[in-house]
Structure 1
Amino acid sequence: MPNKNTLFIGKVVHDFQALSSTNSYAQNLLAKSKPIEGTVISAATQTEGRGQIGSKWESPGGQSLSLSVILYPGFLVARKQFELNMVTALALRDTLSVYARSTVWVKWPNDIYLGHRKVAGILIQNQLSGQQVQHSIIGTGVNINQPSFPPELPGATSLYLDTGNRHDLPAVASAYLHTLEQRYLQLRGGQHVRLKRDYYQHLLGYQEQRTYRLPNGEEFVAEAAGVDETGRLLLRMGGQLKAFGLKEISLVPDYS
C-alpha cells in the first residue's frame, strides 16, 4: 500500500509474500527500467536475504521487515557514499526509538542495536557514474515480532523481545519510510554537519574505551573517535588515530 505520510518514498510499493532478496529484485528493476525515486520492494519472507559482504540475514515469514528502497542521489560524490549509511542508520534509530524500551544504538558500519543486541541490519548497494552516485538500493532487515532466535545467533533480538509486545509491521514500515525520507532530505539539503553530529550521538562505543578484534583474533582496547569521509572507523590507540575499513575490525560483543 502506498505510504500517505511521505513525499516520494513509498508512493510505489512492490509487495511480495516471498522473495529471494528485495535488493536483488530492486537490481533487476533497475536493469530493465528506471523506477521512480522512492520505489519500495518489500517481502514478508526473504529466502536468501543478505547482509554486508555476503553475510546472511534471517527473515522468517511475517515476523520481520524486509525492505529495499530505490534512490537516485546524484548529488552525492562517490567518496562520501557512506553518508547514505548514516542516513539509513539514523532513520532506523529514529523509528525504533519510538517503540523500544532499550536504548537504540547505531553500530558501525551497518547494524542497529537494542541495548547490547542486534535488531536490524543494513545493506546498501550503490551504482557509480564517474565520481557521482547514480543510484542506490537501500536494503534493511528489522527484527520485529520474533519470540526467539536459534543458538547460532546469540546476539540477536527483536522489538517483541525488548518490549514484550507484538507490533504492527505495516505501521512500523510506514514510520521507517517517513523517517528515511526526512533523513535523506537532510542529506540532499547539505546538512552534513547535523547528520554526522546525530550519528556520533547514537554511535555505539563513541568516545568510550571498548575491546575490538582483528580478523586474526587479536583483541585490543581502543576508543572510537568517529568515521572518516569514506566510512572507515577511526580508533584512537596510544594517542594516535588509525582507520579501519569493513571487515578489518569488529567490536567484541557484550551480551550482558
Structure 2
Amino acid sequence: MHDLFDPLNDAIQTDSPFDRASFYYKSCASTNDLAQTYLLHAAEGTVFIADHQYKGRGQRGSKWISESGKNILFSFILYPEWLTIDGVFALNVITSLAMYDALVDHLAKGMAIKWPNDLYYLDKKLGGILIETHIGEGYKIKAAVIGIGLNVNQLYFDSANCTSLAIHTKKPFDRALLLAHIMDALGSYYAQLQNGMDHLLWEKYVNRLYRKTGFYPFATANRWLEGRILSVNRAGELVVAERNGTQYCYKSKEIVFI
C-alpha cells in the first residue's frame, strides 16, 4: 500500500468545496508556522503537509512529537470572516467532528472527542488540534490556521498516553487518503457552520465527548471535584455538574481530567 505523500503528486483530489492546493514538506519546523507565512495569499483550504516536524507544538506551548513518515501532520488555512471572535470555538467543533468522521469506521467502539482539542481512543490520545486565529475589524476572524496531528502508523510512543490507528487495527494506513477524508468532512461541516447550522453541529459534538456519560474526577486550580459533563457552551467552556447538581463552567486552562 502506498503510504507516502508524493511531492510530485501532492494535489490530493477530494470532494471538498475548497478550491485549494496542497504543499508537501519532508521536514519543517511546524506546519502551522508554514501556513502563517502564506496567510491572505493562499486560497482558503490550502493544506501544508509534513512527514516530520522538528518544532511541532500543541496547545498551551506543549510539544508534539511524531516519528518521521508515520503519521499525519498538516495545517490548513481558513478565512471565516463571517465568524466573530466569541464564536471561534466553532472551528474546534467542526475540526474535531471531521477527524472523528474520517476515523470512526476504522475503529471499534471507543473513540471520542476529548475537550478541548484532542481525539481519544480507549482512554489514549489518537490526535490533537491547534488553532491560531487573526482578528480583523469588528472582532471578526480575519484568518485561521488549523493544525492537526494524527497518530496513524507509529507503533511505539514515549508516552503511555498515546496510541495510533495501526496499533489497534494491526495494519498500515494510506495517510494521504485519510487526510483527504478529513478535509472532505471538514469542508462539509464548514459549509454547515457558515449556513447557520451551528446548533446541530454543537449537538453532534457534545454527543461524542470523551467521558460524556457518568461522573468522573477532575482537578481545578484550587480543588478536586467529581462531576458529570453536561455540555460545552458557545464560548468553548466545559459545563460540569457535581453530584449535588451545582453547575460550573471552565475554560481549557482551568480544569484537568484525572
Q: For the superposition of Structure 1 and Structure 2, which TM-score range results when normalised by the shorter chain?
A: over 0.9
**Partner Cα distance (1:179, 1:94) in 2:** 7
For residue 226 of structure 2, what is the amino acid of its counterpart?
Answer: V
* Cα RMSD (Å): 1.4
**Partner Cα distance (1:213, 1:14) in 2:** 41
2:12–2:176 Cα contact (<8 Å) kept: no
TM-score, normalised relative to structure 1: 0.92
**Partner Cα distance (1:205, 1:6) in 2:** 33
1 or 2, which has the higher strand percentage? 1
1:17–1:43 Cα contact (<8 Å) kept: yes
For residue 167 of structure 2, what is the amino acid of its counterpart?
Answer: L
Cross-structure match for 1:5: 14
Q: Does 1:154 align with 2:163?
A: no
Cross-structure match for 1:144: 152
Residue in structure 1 matching 2:140, options 132, 138, 157 = 132
Q: Does 1:79 align with 2:72?
A: no
Cross-structure match for 2:5: none
Cross-structure match for 2:62: 55
For residue 176 of structure 2, what is the amino acid of its counterpart?
Answer: P
User: How far 1:199 sits from its partner (Å)?
Assistant: 0.4
User: How far 1:240 sits from its partner (Å)?
Assistant: 1.8
Q: Deviations over 1:188-232 (max 9, x none)?
A: 11111110110011011224211112246x432101111121101
User: How far 1:123 sits from its partner (Å)?
Assistant: 0.2
**Partner Cα distance (1:67, 1:89) in 2:** 14
- Name the SS of the counterpart of 2:38 in structure 1: helix
**Partner Cα distance (2:195, 2:48) in 1:** 25
TM-score, normalised relative to structure 2: 0.92
- Between 1:134-143 and 1:240-249, the stretch displaced more is 240-249
1:114–1:162 Cα contact (<8 Å) kept: no
- Name the SS of the counterpart of 1:225 in structure 2: strand
- Name the SS of the counterpart of 1:46 in structure 2: coil
Cross-structure match for 2:228: 223
For residue 94 of structure 2, what is the amino acid of its counterpart?
Answer: V
**Partner Cα distance (2:122, 2:188) in 1:** 25
2:19–2:43 Cα contact (<8 Å) kept: no
User: How far 1:239 sits from its partner (Å)?
Assistant: 1.6
- Name the SS of the counterpart of 2:72 in structure 1: strand
Go from structure 1 to structure 2 and tell me whether the alpha carbon gap of 1:101 and 1:10 turns closer, same or farther (over 3 Å shift): farther
**Partner Cα distance (1:229, 1:168) in 2:** 35
Residue in structure 2 matching 1:117, options 124, 129, 135 = 124
Runs of 4+ in 1 over 4 A off after TM superposition: none
Residue in structure 2 matching 1:203, options 209, 223, 229 = 209
1:4–1:11 Cα contact (<8 Å) kept: no
Q: Deviations over 1:64-118 (max 9, x none)?
A: 1001010001111110100100000000000111212342100000000012111
**Partner Cα distance (2:172, 2:84) in 1:** 41
User: How far 1:4 sits from its partner (Å)?
Assistant: 2.0
Q: Does 1:34 align with 2:41?
A: yes
Q: Deviations over 1:96-150 (max 9, x none)?
A: 1121234210000000001211100000011111321111111100000011111
Gaps of 5+ in 1: none
Cross-structure match for 1:68: 75
2:131–2:145 Cα contact (<8 Å) kept: yes
Q: Does 1:172 align with 2:185?
A: no
1:213–1:219 Cα contact (<8 Å) kept: yes
Q: Does 1:245 align with 2:251?
A: yes
Identity of aligned residues (%): 31
- Equivalent residue pairs, number: 247
User: How far 1:251 sits from its partner (Å)?
Assistant: 1.1
Go from structure 1 to structure 2 and tell me whether the alpha carbon gap of 1:55 and 1:137 turns closer, same or farther (over 3 Å shift): same
Gaps of 5+ in 2: 1-9
Go from structure 1 to structure 2 and tell me whether the alpha carbon gap of 1:149 and 1:45 turns closer, same or farther (over 3 Å shift): same
